[in-house]
Amino acid sequence: MPELPEVETVRRGLVPVMEDARIAKLERNRPDLRFPFPPRFKARLEGSTITALARRAKYLLAHLDSGEVLIMHLGMSGSFHVRAGAQTGERVADGAYYERDRDPRHDHVVFHLDGPAGRATVTYNDPRRFGFMDLAAVGDLPQNRFLRDLGVEPTGNELDGVLLAGLLTGRHTSLKAALLDQKTIAGLGNIYACEALWRAGLSPRRLARSVAGKDGAGTERSSRLAEAIRSVIADAIEAGGSSLRDHRHTDGSLGYFQHEFAAYDRDGEPCRKPGCSGHIERIVQSGRSTFFCPVCQR
């Protein structure tokens, strides 16, 4: 499943064609994705202008001039493809690309847009149909069932050692499991949790509460981990995310942060930390693969 850096990369790819564009026509080619589309989905979108395209955790939020917000989640295999002023398969001046080999049977939603840069189509393709779309009034977003319980974003200075310690105080689960809890940190997934723990030199198996001080006070460990989370997410966004299995950019290109992995998917390889003699090991925690160095991650 795409994690926060991949979703942010998709958002940035869609902004030039979607922001300030009017939805002239919407094609909905099936009645549902993971969930049924909301009532009058097509009618509520057609004629609206997208005033801003934002992101919350792994969700894309298209703010409309109607006062509603289109909430979109990519699921396991969802992707957006842009075509602007060209025939299928042609590169165009704005860099958009429409892949020839995409199976059109899985083109479930097509946005026909009129924007400042001209006409464009944005197609949502999802072979597994684990993604979904919802509509909500902007004032109802804090209570929306998909967004209301999300934790802090790992992309700004709000996530520091003191805040992280408070979030982990009293948590008897493993540190890795606590980091994957979206109520703790929104958008952090398996790949980047492994990478952040490696950067921080902390074992994924230690108890989450062991990172916090007394009464939730910040510690050297919590500060180190907060910085590692922020830096790995920032580096991954800068690299365009990680292209594993289904993920590609909206222009068809690949992210390349997977070439920077220090822990994830490196089972048996030497640890890259200077002076460390360890090798990366793989264990399973809560049904998910965890990669770490047992020598330098304590």
List residues with catalytic annotation: 2-3, 58, 288
Cα separation, 290 vs 298, in Å, equals 15
Which has the closest alpha carbon to 207: 152, 159, 168?
Answer: 168
Question: What CA–CA distances, in Å, run from 171 to 179, 208, 212?
Answer: 11, 5, 9
Cα separation, 74 vs 70, in Å, equals 13
Query: 59: which strand partners?
Result: 56, 73
Structure tokens that stand for 192 in this block: 């980047």
Structure tokens that stand for 287 in this block: 């049904």
Amino acid at site 266: R
Contact 230, 154 (CB under 8 A): yes
